[in-house]
Structure 1
Amino acid sequence: MPYPLDNTLPVSATEPYVLVADDDAPTRCFLGDAFRQFGARVALAASGSEAQALTRDEPFDLLVLDCRMPDGGAVEILNYLRNDQHARSVYSPAVASSAELDTDAQQALLAAGFHAVLPKPCTLQDLREILALATSSHRHLPVLDDSLALNTSGTPAVVQALRGLFRQELLNLCGELDELSADTKALEARLHKLRSSCGFCGAASLSEHIVSLQQHLKLEHRGAMLPLAAFRRSVQQTIEALSVT
């Protein structure tokens, strides 16, 4: 183990399965050892081709992909994966890591579909927070939970009316999210309001994504960018589900 690890940090109660792909051996070893300390199972890859083969055959809960590797970096791996519906890790949260990333490059990676960006060198705290993406992926919550909505709102008629209003709220949000993501206070306020609506309408999965965003905002953590890609997908899935209810 090339780096000492802080054994006082808590280990996750779950056992997420993490892929670490990096062509730098010391970095690969450090990341792998850190994730294992936090309770994860870890597979290692030293090139893009190795990472692609593993993501095709293994159901990972988190992918940590270096931006520059032989046979393709993080972007190439993610593009390959998202276009192969038979890959077992096709929907796994993905994190791009690099030692050279300015703000524009980070935003471009998030727009490409990464859940977070991990600048190197990183700390154990960075990795613990990144691992939260994997532990949250163990929760397979329904897009709409009718029993939750009825318990909160009372009657099917009330739930139906509230869901109609909620759908319009989400459609409005889609057009405002880019602007909101640049204003932390405005985004926090919008998420608080939206989370309340999720409870009344039984939007269980979206509520979980909102919690994740709120946690990132409270931490003000620069090592892991806001997981907006997953949030956008959840918003769209909820809109689609509301359209057929």
Structure 2
Amino acid sequence: MPPSIENRRQTLASDTTPRVLVADDDPSSLLFLTEALRGLGLDATGCTDGPSAIELAQQQPFELLVLDCRMPGGGAEQVLTALRSSGYDKLAVATSAELDEPTRQRLFDCGFNDLLLKPCQQSDLRRIAALVDPALGGEDLLDDTQALASSGDEHVMRALRGLMRDELLQLDREWEELAQDSVRLRERLHRLLASCGFCGTASLATQTLLLQQHLMRGQTVASGPVAGFRSTLLATIDALRPG
């Protein structure tokens, strides 16, 4: 008998605390970021230069890299470029006190999943933490206020959510096939995002956007973005269960 949705959701969730590497040559920033991320439930390790970040990322199983744009021996862009060239596919966030539009675009083109402008707020760090564990982002699986605003009627909302659950179950069944075809997967995610808006599935909408951005940059279906999306997909299916 195939494993249940709940069993597979639990299997996708890590038995260990998600690990994050924070690289920043400013002692105050390094201390703040590592302690704040630990406070949100992540296992944070710090280092102070580019070569150390590359070495640690290659030697240890981090789910997320948080890299300052200016560090001795190479900043965020240089570090991630070196790692990506060797097939490194984990999530990465660039941090900086200045992020103009050309810099933002260059960092995204380099392969970063998100950017963090310093000084940052707690809400910014929750967004970053949610990249590796959606539960840490503070978003609800179901936002009834959003869904009612979109549908205009509770009866219509329930009907739309029933259709949404069927759509998610079909997506789950076809996942292995879709994961081998990034073009089809991107088309499917585009349709899914519209459904999320109508049905108020807030956390899934966020994870869908993150996976879309990852694929649009020409990157593979990597473990980091997929883990968050798949976990939230299955949790949303459970939340939409009738009754």
Normalised-by-shorter TM-score class: 0.5 to 0.7
Q: How many residues align?
A: 167
Offset at residue 232 of structure 1 (A): 2.7
Alignment partners' CA distance in 2, 1:167 and 1:94: 20
CA distances 1:76-128 after superposition (whole Å, capped 9, x unpaired): 1111111224xxxx221000100111122112211211000101110121111
Q: TM-score, normalised by structure 2?
A: 0.56
Residue correspondence of structure 1 range 40-119 to structure 2 within 5 A: 40-85=42-87, 90-119=88-117
Q: Does the 8 Å contact 1:170/1:235 carry over to 2?
A: no
Offset at residue 39 of structure 1 (A): 1.1
Of the two structures, which has the highest relative contact order with CA contacts closer than 8 Å and spacing of 6 or more?
A: 2
Alignment partners' CA distance in 1, 2:35 and 2:98: 23
Offset at residue 73 of structure 1 (A): 0.5
Query: Counterpart of 2:227?
Result: none
List alignment gaps of at least 5 residues for structure 1. Answer: 1-12, 137-147, 178-186, 197-207, 215-225, 238-245
Query: Counterpart of 1:128?
Result: 126
Alignment partners' CA distance in 2, 1:57 and 1:64: 16
Change (3 A) 1:227 1:73: farther
Alignment partners' CA distance in 1, 2:85 and 2:133: 24
1:232 to 216, 225, 229: 216
Q: Does the 8 Å contact 2:111/2:217 carry over to 1?
A: no
Change (3 A) 1:233 1:29: same
For the residue of structure 2 that corresponds to 1:23, the secondary structure is coil
Q: TM-score, normalised by structure 1?
A: 0.56
Alignment partners' CA distance in 2, 1:236 and 1:61: 16
Q: Does the 8 Å contact 1:115/1:227 carry over to 2?
A: no
For the residue of structure 1 that corresponds to 2:94, the secondary structure is strand
Percent of residue pairs identical: 37
Q: Does the 8 Å contact 2:108/2:217 carry over to 1?
A: no
Offset at residue 231 of structure 1 (A): 3.9
Change (3 A) 1:231 1:194: farther
Q: Does the 8 Å contact 1:113/1:229 carry over to 2?
A: no
Change (3 A) 1:54 1:103: same
Alignment partners' CA distance in 1, 2:89 and 2:219: 16
Alignment partners' CA distance in 2, 1:152 and 1:93: 27
Q: Does the 8 Å contact 1:61/1:135 carry over to 2?
A: no
Change (3 A) 1:152 1:46: closer
CA RMSD of aligned residues (A): 4.1
For the residue of structure 1 that corresponds to 2:131, the secondary structure is helix
4+ residue segments displaced more than 2 Å:
166-171, 193-196, 208-211, 226-229, 231-237
Residue correspondence of structure 1 range 1-245 to structure 2 within 5 A: 15-85=17-87, 90-135=88-133, 152=170, 191-193=193-195, 211-213=206-208, 228-232=212-216
Alignment partners' CA distance in 2, 1:20 and 1:66: 8
For the residue of structure 1 that corresponds to 2:130, the secondary structure is helix
For the residue of structure 2 that corresponds to 1:134, the secondary structure is coil
Q: Does the 8 Å contact 1:116/1:227 carry over to 2?
A: no
List alignment gaps of at least 5 residues for structure 2. Answer: 1-14, 135-165, 222-243
For the residue of structure 2 that corresponds to 1:65, the secondary structure is strand
Range with bigger deviation, 36-45 or 100-109: 100-109
Q: Does the 8 Å contact 1:17/1:61 carry over to 2?
A: yes
